């Protein structure tokens, strides 16, 4: 009788986390890692933006708001419905 298994001599290792289409999954399919990475990315971006707005001749409040909406919401909105 023949076995249907083609991969009989292969060794597979388990991955603890995977990035697929920009979304980070862990072995339990939890989004904690993804949320932590997005939060760190948004926090870093916010501090850079705050430095731009904090200068004497920095961004106006309107320009800061536009930059915030364009960049920060794109970080948080990506894969929001997953």
Question: Exposed, middle or buried: residue 38 (CB in 10 Å: 0-12, 13-18, 19+)?
Answer: buried
Where along the chain do its domains lie? Answer: 17-77
pLDDT score, position 7: 61
Distance CA 60, CA 58 (A): 7
Distance CA 46, CA 68 (A): 8
Query: At a CB cut-off of 8 Å and minimum separation 6, what does 5 contact?
Result: none
Helix, strand or coil, per DSSP, at residue 22: coil
End-to-end CA distance of the chain: 44
pLDDT score, position 1: 45
Positions of the chain with pLDDT lower than 70, given as ranges = 1-8, 12, 80-82
Tens of pLDDT, residues 57-74: 788 888 888 988 888 888
pLDDT score, position 81: 62
């Amino acid at each position: 009788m023949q076995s249907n298994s083609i991969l009989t001599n292969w060794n597979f290792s388990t991955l603890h986390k995977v990035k697929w289409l920009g979304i980070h999954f862990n072995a339990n399919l939890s989004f904690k890692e993804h949320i932590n990475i997005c939060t760190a990315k948004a926090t870093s971006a916010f501090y850079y933006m705050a430095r731009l707005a904090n200068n004497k001749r920095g961004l106006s409040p309107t320009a800061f708001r536009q930059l915030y909406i364009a960049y920060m919401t794109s970080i948080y909105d990506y894969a929001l419905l997953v």
